[in-house]
Amino acid sequence: MQTRTNPLAKFSLRGLPAALLVVGGCVLRLDEPIALAIHGFRRSNPMLEEYTDRIPDLLLPVVLVLSAGMWIAWFLRVRKGVRDDRTAFFRLAGTVLPLSYFARAAFKFLFGRIETRAWLEHPVPTEFQWLQTGDRIGGFPSGHMMVFASLAAACWIFFPRARAACAAFLLLLGSALIATNYHFLGDVIAGGYLGLAVAAATFEFLERGTSSRLLPLGPILAGLAISALDWAGVCTDACAETSLYRLFGVPLPPLGVAYFTLCGIACLASRRQVVFRAALAILLFGGLGSEIVFVWIQKFLIGKWCPMCVGIAFCVAAGCVLIVREYFSETIPPIARGERKFDMKRVSLHAAVVLAALLVGLGTSALGLRKPDAHAAGFTPEQLAFGPADSTLVVFIVSDWFCPACRTAEPEMIKGARLAMKKAKVVFVDYPIHRETLNYIPYNLSFMVREKEKYLQIREALGSLALKTKEPTPEDVQAAVSPLGVKYVPLNFADVMSAGQYQNSVVQQFKVPGTPAVVVADSKTGKVKKLNGISEINADNILRSIAEISGK
């Protein structure tokens, strides 16, 4: 059997930034319009809609049957002493099929994106709900595309003549998944890329192993991806507080992207130049010292674990472990074979360098990692809330500025809010079911923070303005609130982002299905009562919910 090259290895590594950009563009701009267009076409063809709705999900049985068949074929050929490309293909395919199937479940849990058909029935925001499970959550990435892309990648490596057929099959499968509204376009592209990456990595380990000097590249690329997502604002509720921290005034996400980029360059160059091996070790252990400080801050100051930050810390620690493993794997065997004497001075010098790097990273972060005074308190329920600050009861009023049902329920929600403020804290939460609501959120946040006494009147004025324009200018807003004797003063961008992240965390924490909604929660007892829709939301029900939760 000839030694096979892996044409997908470099593609998987070099294509990661492009894949992130393409998938990010689909999630932000293309997925929803394409799904709506296809949904409209399917509804105009009742027979087509009925047929596509009945397609069963047979992925698991298919994976089990194919995997078993591949391993049986591999065993029979090895038993006969046949070790050729086909034998190697059976082993690779039998490995990547179940591996990609279980990896797809992990990715679905990690990203927690709503399924396309569920979104079409209840159009809520389609962004990632990190580390979430539940009914009809788990659309990203496409499991079918990931599994069959890994199988096609195995064929691509061992059977060059079949490459055109593999590409055509994946294109057909992806088109079918999108055309039947089983997945968004971004789900399919991500599934295809991850399937290829799984197959490429598995081939490297099965066929010839991987250079130990390149092993740190895995966690480095993972850290780069997480930093890029963090920079893009893809966060959980715990990230709202951590995003306020700065290192000597510089935001952390762009620093993370720059840091992991440098680590990646040093790792790739370390195969040829010893100096880059030393640079990589210094970068990784310096980063480890910095992460120790930030983990301490999350544990003892913030009191919450940010999945993004913990993931980055894990990537840095994994890189350190792998580079130490590489060092000893290259140092100890020659000594054991008597080819080289143990050089205590050399080892001590290397240990001193990495220890110094760790201490420098630790000290730099301890001195420079701060939350600016302007954000010292962050955007918490206490700053965005109305009513008694010492109350453990919080009433979250969740609405969308362009939701017809919200407009109908608004008078009762305002009436209920006025009464609730005497007994509990009240927090108004903007849940942008309609994208136009995003244009009103900065104005609304500013008034909630700066004009608490007149906010309910201002809210009514903003509601009237929303009936006139979907894209208000600061001049439009000022004209709407001028009769109330109020001047609009904008918040800075960082404040708007932090407050928006907090509002999004409320929606995620209480799993608000849509708007309008009212959530009554007691932070002391953990009791929660939710009211959904205009049939449930009125002032009396809000007061009853407060009484039920408080026991008074």
Q: H or E segment at 520? A: strand 517-522
pLDDT of 239 strictly over 80 = no
- pLDDT at position 374 is 42
Identify the residue with better confidence: 121 or 224.
224
Name the strands in the sheet holding 517-522, side by side, starting at the edge strand that comes first in the sequence.
Answer: 425-430, 393-399, 517-522, 528-532
Average pLDDT of the residues in 431-455: 89
pLDDT of the residue at 359:
94
CA dist 264 and 254 (Å) reads 15
pTM over 0.85: no
**For 352, what's the count of Cα atoms within 13 Å in the CB-facing half-sphere?**
6
What tokens does 211 get?
A: 């250079």
| Highest mean pLDDT out of 48-62, 163-177, 269-283 | 163-177
Q: What is the pLDDT of residue 240?
A: 56
Distances in Å between the Cα of 29 and the Cα atoms of 24, 35, 189, 357, 435 are 8, 11, 14, 43, 11
| pLDDT given at position 17 | 81
pLDDT at 230 over 50: yes
d(CA 151, CA 97): 7
Our CA dihedral for 16, 17, 19, 20, rounded to 10 degrees, sits at 120
Question: 376 or 165, which is more confident?
Answer: 165
More confident residue, 133 or 213: 213
Q: What is the mean pLDDT of the chain?
A: 83
Mean pLDDT of 275-287: 91
DSSP element (H, E) containing 60 = helix 59-79
Q: What angle do CA 478, 481, 484 make, to 5 degrees?
A: 140
Distance between CA 157 and CA 208 in Å, rounded? Answer: 14
Which residues in 10-85 belong to E strands, given as ranges? Answer: none
Q: Are 161 and 16 in contact (CB under 8 A)?
A: no
Q: Which CATH class is domain 381-550?
A: alpha beta
pLDDT higher than 70, residue 486: yes
pLDDT of residue 376: 43
Q: What is the pLDDT of residue 169?
A: 93
Provide the 8-state DSSP code for 535. Answer: T
Highest mean pLDDT among 132-141, 226-235, 266-275, 287-296: 287-296
Q: Is 62 helix (H, G, I), strand (E, B) or coil?
A: helix
Domain ranges of the chain: 7-210, 217-375, 381-550
What percentage of the chain exceeds 70 in pLDDT?
Answer: 84
Cis geometry, peptide bond prior to residue 251 (ω within 30 degrees of 0): no
What tokens does 227 get? 């930093």
Distances (CA, A) of 134 to 114, 131, 419: 9, 10, 35
Each residue's pLDDT tens digit, 301-360: 776 677 778 888 888 988 898 888 777 777 766 666 666 676 778 888 888 999 999 999
User: What CATH architecture applies to the domain 217-375?
Assistant: Up-down Bundle (1.20)
- Domains 7-210 and 217-375 belong to one CATH topology: no
How high is the pLDDT of residue 125? 65
- What's the rounded mean pLDDT across residues 265-292? 87
d(CA 172, CA 42): 18
Q: Taking 50 as the threshold, does the pLDDT of residue 442 lie above it?
A: yes
For 5-61, write each residue's pLDDT tens digit.
566 766 776 777 888 889 888 888 898 899 888 888 877 777 766 676 666 678 888
* Whether 28 contacts 127, CB under 8 Å: no
pLDDT at 336: 60
Please write the tens of the pLDDT for every residue from 385-418: 898 888 889 999 999 999 888 999 999 999 999 9
Confidence of residue 1 (pLDDT cuts 50, 70, 90): very low
513, two tokens: 């299905």
Q: Is the pLDDT of residue 371 over 80?
A: no
pLDDT of residue 210: 47
**CATH class for the domain made up of 7-210:** mainly alpha
